[in-house]
Structure 1
């Protein structure tokens, strides 16, 4: 149960304010679309993308047991953050 809550809270916090959520807000703000349709479509899209991520992660774990995946993921996030920081300062100049 703790693992379920940890995963759910982590994903929930990671999704807050990301481009997917912003796109959902924009679709819902369009008065010509039913808000329930936007909710169902965005939920299905998130479930599908999460399913693909789980399949890829399970496959990677099976075939890449010697590779430190958490380290690689952490370095990837750090690299993306560094690129965003550099981009911010380049735009400011």
Structure 2
């Protein structure tokens, strides 16, 4: 059975659903400061949003996702120590 163009569009809609969302080539999770900015607009939150988005852009340029950067930061602070026993 042959598929029409509309059927192909529906199939292609799910093609990239497993990938992380991106906006202007930045990871979608880098834009959470904008949500804070929208709810509480002030100069301070604008500066924090711009700085944090710049930080996330720099991390992505280095090849880190926000989750990987967080794990590396925790590893840097606490070292290779692992808890033993029940937590």
Same fold by TM (over 0.5)?
no
TM range (shorter): 0.3 to 0.5
TM-score of the two chains, using structure 2 as the length reference: 0.32
Whose strand fraction is larger, Structure 1's or Structure 2's?
2
TM-score of the two chains, using structure 1 as the length reference: 0.31
Task: Identify the structure with bigger relative contact order (alpha carbons < 8 Å, sequence gap 6+).
Answer: 2
Whose helix fraction is larger, Structure 1's or Structure 2's?
1
